Amino acid sequence: MRNVWVICKRELSAYFSSPLAYVFIVIFLALAGSVTFYVGGFLEGGRADLQAFFNFHPWLYLFLIPALGMRLWAEERKSGTIEFLMTLPVRTSEAVGGKFLAAWLFAGIALVLTFPIWITVNYLGDPDNGLILAAYFGSWLMAGSFLAISACVSATTKNQVIAFVLSAAVCFMFLMSGLEMVQSFFRSWAPELFVRAVAQISFLTNFFDLTEGVIDTRAVVYFLSLIGVSLVINTAIVEMKKGQ
- From the list another protein, ligand ATP, none, which binds 38 (C-beta under 5 to 8 Å, kind-based)? none
Q: Which is nearer to another protein, 23 or 30 (CB)?
A: 23
Distance, CA of 168 to CA of 161 (rounded, Å): 11
The alpha-carbon radius of gyration of the chain (Å, integer) is 19
**CB distance 203 to 142 below 8 Å:** yes
Distance, CA of 8 to CA of 96 (rounded, Å): 10
**CB distance 238 to 73 below 8 Å:** yes
88 binds another protein (CB under 8 A): yes
**CB distance 147 to 69 below 8 Å:** yes
- From the list another protein, ligand ATP, none, which binds 129 (C-beta under 5 to 8 Å, kind-based)? none
Q: Which is nearer to ligand ATP, 46 or 243 (CB)?
A: 243
6 binds another protein (CB under 8 A): yes
- CB atoms < 10 A from the CB of 167, how many? 27
Report the nearest approach of ligand ATP to the CB of residue 25 (Å).
Answer: 37
Distance, CA of 182 to CA of 196 (rounded, Å): 11
Q: How many residues in the shown chain lie near ligand ATP by CB under 6 A? A: 2
Q: For another protein, which residue of 34, 38, 45, 84 counts as binding (CB under 8 A)?
A: 84
3 binds another protein (CB under 8 A): yes
Indicate the helix (H) or strand (E) that contains 76: helix 71-79
Report the nearest approach of another protein to the CB of residue 64 (Å).
Answer: 21
* Cα distance from N-terminal residue to C-terminal residue, the chain: 28
Q: Scanning residues 215 to 244, which ones bind ligand ATP (CB under 6 A)? A: 243-244
Task: Count Cα atoms within 13 angstroms, Cβ side, for 192.
Answer: 0
Stretch that binds another protein, among 51-59, 75-83, 116-124, 134-142 (CB under 8 A): 75-83
Report the nearest approach of ligand ATP to the CB of residue 243 (Å).
Answer: 5
Stretch that binds another protein, among 6-14, 116-124, 141-149, 164-172 (CB under 8 A): 6-14
- Point out which residues bind ligand ATP (CB under 6 A): 243-244
